[in-house]
Amino acid sequence: MKKGFPNLVSLAMQLLVSYSRDSAISRLDPRVKILWLIGNAIFTVWGLSPGLVAWNFFVVLFTIRLAGISLRNLLPFLKIMAVIGIQLILLQGLLRTQGSPVFHLGPATFYSEGLLLGAMGVLTLTSLSLLFLQFIMCTTPEEMTLLMINCRLPASSAVLVGLAFRFLPLLERDLREIHESQESRGIALTTTWQKAKGIVTVILPLILRTLRRTHEVSLTMELKGFRLHDTRTFLEDLSFRRTDRLAAAAIGAYFAVVTAVLILMSSL
């Protein structure tokens, strides 16, 4: 099959469902992982300086590698973010006229403060995206379901999280089959313009397949008495082990140090 839109979707789906279970980080309790996600997201958004934003970015990359996730798997995502980021940086440098001129591109002048602000924004957005991907790639659907139940979410709603991620490989397979089927019928889907014109011929069958599969799953769950009882039993349970407590303590200590640095920077 020709390289194109389905290949990009396939890469995205594989990235989201490639659960890494070979590292100590991946085997941690999901509550420890969500603590790391939320805390770092707060510090990333509230970064007061370019140095702190860059530090958060490299910490996220380091912990992703520590979790046994190859950075090569993230290259498609990083390439997309680089293309978007360059445009955002140039736009900020053009529109924000504070600071000294850095370079000229025809009649347009790009200023230092705008370029710096754009770079900080791109690093922040990339760090948040990588944090989310790290959590998804190190947490199984079962752990997400148990985490939602632990957060007092009804079991009937919590199980939808796990089901959603189990559907992703099926959606990727359906999209690939539909794309190949439409090309075999003579519908050209090679160039970007052809894909834009033929998106309806791909999306509509995908929606119909998704609705049909959703109906089949819901009917099966109904026949098995899914909502017959308010509580459900699971094969696994969430329980803090010694390694989870040590990891939570280390994360808390790291957040305390970062908070102290933020307070010190704000007082200067």
* pLDDT, tens digit (0-9, with 9 covering 90-100), for 190-222: 666 666 666 777 788 888 888 888 888 878 877
116 with 249, same domain: the answer is: yes
252 plus 128 within the same structural domain: yes
Q: Are 176 and 228 members of one domain?
A: yes
Range of the domain at 86: 20-139+238-268
Residue 170 lies in a domain: yes
Helix (H) or strand (E) holding 251: helix 242-267
Residue 249, judged by CB atoms within 10 A of its CB (0-12, 13-18, 19+), counts as: exposed
Read off the pLDDT of residues 89-124 as tens digits, 9 standing for 90 and up.
988 888 888 888 888 888 888 888 888 888 888 888
| Total tally of structural domains belonging to the chain | 2
Q: Are residues 132 and 245 in the same domain?
A: yes
Is 123 within a domain? yes
- Residue 66 in tokens: 């520590």
Torsion region of 106: left, alpha or beta (phi above 0 gives left; psi -120 to 50 gives alpha): left
CA-to-CA distance for 153 and 230, rounded, in angstroms? 12
Query: Could you give the CA distance from residue 259 to residue 264 in angstroms, rounded to a whole number?
Result: 9
Task: Express each pLDDT in 55-71 by its tens digit.
Answer: 888 888 888 888 877 77
Whether residue 34 is found in the same domain as residue 62: yes
Residue 70 lies in a domain: yes
Residues 73 and 42 in one domain: yes
What is the pTM assigned to this prediction? Answer: 0.72
Output the CA torsion sign for 89, 37, 51, 80.
Answer: negative
